[in-house]
Amino acid sequence: MVSSCINSACLSLLDASVTLKFLVAAVSCSLRRDGSILLDPTSKQMRDGVANIVFVFESKTRSVISTHSEGPVNPDKFQECLAITKTAVEKIFQFYRIVIGKKFSKDV
């Protein structure tokens, strides 16, 4: 999964204390045949979906810095996917803070 690779790469850089101007976090979603949207789909769920989209956000303004989509998505559904993933990415940034906070509290 592309989003897992992006998130683990960013977390690895943080863990290595690499100075970054901002963090990145990615969220995947799959557009189902019934029009519903599934966050963080498995490989099988992605194969069964009509379309799959990965959104990559930066941490300062939560702007999208990259997207990757496979399959047809109309503009309204794309915006709906964006809104859902923008909410979900907050949990990833929160996870980064918790993990790195624990690391540095142990190092002191």
**Each residue's pLDDT tens digit, 58-91:** 999 999 999 999 999 999 999 999 999 999 999 9
Helix axes 75-107, 2-15, angle to 10 degrees: 30
pLDDT tens, position by position, 18-74: 999 999 999 999 999 999 999 999 999 999 999 999 999 999 999 999 999 999 999
Burial annotation 56-85 (CB, 10 A radius, 16+ → b, else e): bbbbeeeeeeeeeeeeebeeebbebbbebb
* Domains annotated on the chain, with CATH: 2-107 (3.30.230.70)
